[in-house]
Structure 1
Amino acid sequence: MKKLILSMAAVAGLFAASASYAQVPASAPSGTTGLCKDGSFYSGATKKGACKGHKGVQTWYGAASGAAAASAPAAAPAMAPAAASSAKAAPSKAPAAASTAQAAPGGGPGQVWVNTSTKVYHCPGDKYYGKTKHGSYMSEADAKSKGYRADAGKACQ
């Protein structure tokens, strides 16, 4: 009887542990595997290098599931709001699974998207341009004068 109770407790513990993993929020882009501390999403295959430049990983959801994982590049942050990618996993201009997120209205020639929570600005064509949770459009000169820095230290062309 004692063995039965212990084995049932072990099974219940395993079930509870598997159910306690963090669930991907509904607002996250398809294929999201992590949430960065700055509120951006990450969708790379591994935790190593995840959220680099975004203050680190806040919550790890684990491997992407289903077809989204199979069709997504190794690091496809969108950071629907914005995602961080591992510099080793994919070039910064790689299409992201979350790149389907709608860009904020506005922007245009000569405008950069300033992420007000990370103090980083993104150039037109960048996967985060107009897509981070907190931000606004302004000229690159205005962004620099207000203390914002270019994403990955690369000024717009």
Structure 2
Amino acid sequence: MNLRTAAYTLAHSLRLLWWRVRRPNVYGTKAIILNDRREVLLVRHTYAMRDLYMLPGGGYQLHEDPALAAAREVVEETGVELAGPLCLHGAFVDAAHGARNHIHVYVGRAAAGARPVADGREIAEAAWFPLDDLPANLSGPSARRIIEVRDGQQTSGVDWRT
């Protein structure tokens, strides 16, 4: 583990500890980005749950538009440019780590020929995966949201972890 990864890991651990103690409301976004080959963009983090693929995304401030934050996070984490605006898939709450994390999930299209490149800081890997052949080590919440979109299911808006 290099110094940068160790710093991200420490910062993430401290954030989770703070969440358990203070139980704040926090706000985040996730993005389901599809390409023309029926593939979805997934990432693996450097600092937490490193063995799991997840949807790209991150936190946002209350004054920030969550859709714009989701688009920004996709570009920052993977370098993938979007073909247009994102559409809201649903809003969920994750209370697994003490905080009430309000997560907006968006769906969008990648620009033609977009190739993901991990940022090398937060993201260890960014890659496309076929919608009908998702990796076995995909996080449960990410899998549920992708399957909802793939199968045209309505969102329940229930807890992100259910």
TM-score after normalising by structure 2: 0.22
- Where relative contact order (Cα < 8 A, 6+ residues apart) is larger, the structure is 2
- Which structure has the larger Rg over C-alpha atoms? 1
TM-score after normalising by structure 1: 0.23
